[in-house]
Structure 1
Amino acid sequence: GRKTLENQVKRLEMVERRENKLKDDIQTKSQQIQQMAEKILVRETDQPSKD
């Protein structure tokens, strides 16, 4: 009856919170990766290629 419905809602909210946290983690990590990639690219363009 009511109890199981409330439990399901609670579980759904927990899952949603976890998913949001994961999304935030992924966004943070992809930003870090992008910054690293930009640093590497800058370093590559700074140094003239030695043939």
Structure 2
Amino acid sequence: MSPLVPFSPFIPLVPFIPFSPGSPIGPTLPGGPTSPLTPLIPLLPCEKLL
């Protein structure tokens, strides 16, 4: 999970991203086009989340 270290302020949210009902990076993570975290996810490059 070391790729998440640069986003330490977001770590409390990170565990919810892959399990969120939706995500702007839906093609990468299990989810649809929307998510409660939508305002935050664009700040985190999807390649950094993987």
What TM-score do the two structures reach when normalised by structure 2?
Answer: 0.19
Kindly indicate whether structure 1 or structure 2 has the higher relative contact order, using CA contacts under 8 Å at least 6 residues apart: 2
Structure with the higher helix share, 1 or 2? 1
Query: Larger radius of gyration, structure 1 or 2?
Result: 1
What TM-score do the two structures reach when normalised by structure 1?
Answer: 0.19
